[in-house]
Amino acid sequence: MDFIKITEQPSLYNDLESKSVEEILKEINAEDHKIADAVQKTIPQIEKLVEQILPRVKEGGRIFYMGAGTSGRLGVLDASEIPPTFGMPSNVVIGLIAGGETALRNPVENAEDNTEQGWQDLLAYSINPKDTVIGIAASGTTPYVIGAMHTAREHGILTGCITSNPNSPMAAEADVAIEMIVGPEYVTGSSRMKSGTGQKMILNMISTTVMIGLGRVKGNKMVNMQLSNHKLVDRGTRMIIEELPLSYEEAEALLLQYGSVKKAVEAYRNQQTITPSNIKPK
């Protein structure tokens, strides 16, 4: 099948510099409305990938996001939000970007063109067949990602990808290819826009579904979130009040004593010695 670079096709709009602020905003928004529909069409592929990831992670496997530029940054962003949101160790979902930490804020010349470096970056984490590698590239042509995925598959490692072009070289290296076709960007070729937004949506879907499958959510609540600030402590305290016959002060003390909503509720229910009268602030 032919490889079509939709991400490089001309914008549907022209003479952008002559438009009013209102016109620009409305046109960008009109294009953004197309993203959710494009993502919806990929749900069968997302489902297929998640269903293969879950048993691997339950056996100690990890998820590696790999990308360059905006795609790489979005992978790092999603990975970095897993520990505070779900209380998971930081080594379960890992974001790798071509050019390393420097590339998070600054472009690193030629970093994405190195076909060998991606695999070397994975080797630094002792990658193994329990793990999953997900390449992220709007174009589907990033050598850093393609090289890593190719070698990963040779080693029996599950590979997936998120791209905005159909039948791309990156998709050819994926066991499960998620092809989110959002169409040309408002500013021609600026894949940080619709493609980037769609990538973030899909990453949210993958990681959240995996975390729910791992039991990191109860009902609809983040019962394993890290208590890293007053807002989250307050949120956790109120979750406990919904579950247990405690005052705010007692619930807060119990939460701080056990470190998570889930552990606090389980401890209260399972240990007869814990009662409102003997809960002590940590």
Q: Is 252 a catalytic residue?
A: no
Q: Would you state the structure tokens that stand for residue 218, as one six-digit string?
A: 């109860």
Distance between CA 187 and CA 178 in Å, rounded?
Answer: 23
> Whole-angstrom Cα distance, residue 198 to residue 38?
8
250 counts as catalytic: no
* Active-site annotation holder among 112, 179, 185, 252: 112
How many other C-beta atoms can be found within 10 angstroms of the C-beta atom of residue 51?
12
Q: How far apart are CA 219 and CA 213, in angstroms?
A: 12
Map tokens 């590239």 to a residue: 137
Q: 229 is written with which tokens?
A: 């600030």
Active-site pick, 8, 27, 81, 243 = 81
Active site residues: 81, 112
